[in-house]
Amino acid sequence: MTHELLDRALIEEATKKSGLIWVRGGGLPAHPGPGDEVPTRPLWHVWADGAAFLIGDGPGEQPLPGLADGGDAVVTVRSKDKGGRLVSWSARVTELTAGTPEWEAAVGELKGKRLNAPDGEAMPERWARECRLVRLEPTGATAGLPDGSLAQRPVPTSATTRQEIPAALPRLLLKRRKRR
C-alpha cells in the first residue's frame, strides 16, 4: 500500500511540474520495439483532479495519435531542468464530452497554459467544435527505468532546421573581420 502511494505521489508531482509529457497511445509496452506503429509524442498538458488533460486533433493543435476513448497509454515524464526521464506510468484514456462540467473545468485549466492561441477568448468554443479533450488517468502501474537508450527516429516532417551554407559565406565573414 505504501509503495502504491509513493508511486502515485511521484506520478502527480513529476507530471505537474513538467511542461511536456511523452505519450504513446494504444496500450503498447513500456519499452517499444522497432515495429511499433504509434509513435511516442511530446504533448503539452495540464495536471488537475488526479489526471493529465490534453487538447488536440484540431486545426492548429497538437496531434493525439493512438489515444482512443477507453484505451490505454504509456506516459513518460521528464525532468524540467535536466530533461532526463523521471517516471513512466500507465494511463487509462477517457475522452470528455464538450459542455459537461468536467470538460468546462479542464478547459478552464488548459486555457491558461495554451501559448500563442490564434483566437484568444474564442478558443474554448473552437475546442468544443473542432478538437478532442482527453483525460489520462494513472492506473497505478509505473514502469522501471530501461537498461539502454530508447532513442527513436524523429517523426517524418517537411520542416528543416539546417541547410548547407553558401560557398561564399566564409569569404564574406572573413572580409567583415578584416575591415574592423
Look up the CATH number of the domain holding residue 77: 2.30.110.10
Give the global pTM: 0.76
Q: Give CA separation, 23 vs 18, 67, 118, 149, in Å.
A: 13, 9, 25, 17
What range defines the domain where residue 102 resides?
2-179
Please report the pLDDT score of residue 92 as a whole number.
95
Distance from C-alpha of 118 to C-alpha of 149, rounded to nearest angstrom? 38
Q: How far is 123 from 147, CA to CA, in rounded Å?
A: 43
The string of pLDDT tens digits covering residues 104-140 is 999 999 988 888 877 878 889 999 999 999 999 999 7
With pLDDT > 70 as the criterion, what percentage of the chain qualifies? 89
What average pLDDT does range 95-103 have in this prediction? 94
Cell 511499433 sits on residue: 36
Average pLDDT over residues 52-57: 94
Between 84 and 18, name the one with better pLDDT.
18
How many domains does the chain fold into? 1
- CA distance linking residue 124 with residue 111, whole number of Å: 7
The predicted structure's pLDDT at residue 71: 92
Question: How far apart are the C-alpha atoms of 131 and 119, rounded to whole Å?
Answer: 14
- Count CA within 13 A, CB hemisphere, residue 160: 3
- Could you report the per-residue pLDDT of 6-41, keeping only the tens digit for each? 888 889 998 998 889 999 887 545 455 555 567 788
pLDDT of residue 36: 52
pLDDT for 53: 96
Arithmetic mean of pLDDT, 46-59 = 92
Among 60, 121, 64, smallest CA distance to 91 is for 64
Find all residues with CB under 8 Å of 61, minimum gap 6, and list them.
Answer: 55, 127, 131
Stronger pLDDT, 81 or 134, i.e. the higher one: 134
pLDDT given at position 28: 47
